[in-house]
Amino acid sequence: MIVGAAAGYLTYQAGKAIIRSIAAPMMWNNRPYYWGSNYYRPQRGQENICRMPIDPSDPQFGNIYEADGVTRPHEIVWGCSYYEYCCGYECCRGGGAATVGGYSASVGYAFAIIYIARAYLV
């Protein structure tokens, strides 16, 4: 889980997890994760930007604060490759140009085949 990876990037004070360097990414699964879109630095080969809001009541991320001990990060941001799509806090294979609005291009191919078949049958 990404929260376990964040442990090395956090320090604990008065029961709160404090981010050591808000602008520095935390590495998890060979992928940099950032504490907000304003800190995100695109990586070569990661064309798809992923964002996951952080709910203050989240049992893992709800106790994480910026250096002032009051402000909480609002989102986690990371990048996925061209052929991947955002899923949870990770990247899953199968995205890229083959997907439009979350639906794979195979749906478009199916409609094209139905249209062509209908033209020949009528």
pLDDT digits (tens, 9 = 90+) for 33-91: 999 999 999 888 788 999 999 998 988 888 999 999 999 999 999 999 989 999 988 99
CA dist., res. 61 & res. 80, Å (int): 21
CA dist., res. 107 & res. 30, Å (int): 33
- Collect all residues with Cβ–Cβ distance below 8 Å to 90 and sequence separation of at least 6: 29
The candidate with the shortest Cα–Cα distance to 36, out of 60, 61, 5, 4, is: 61
pTM for this entry: 0.68
Structural domain boundaries of the chain?
Answer: 2-121
Among 46-50, 73-77, 92-96, 112-116, top mean pLDDT goes to: 73-77
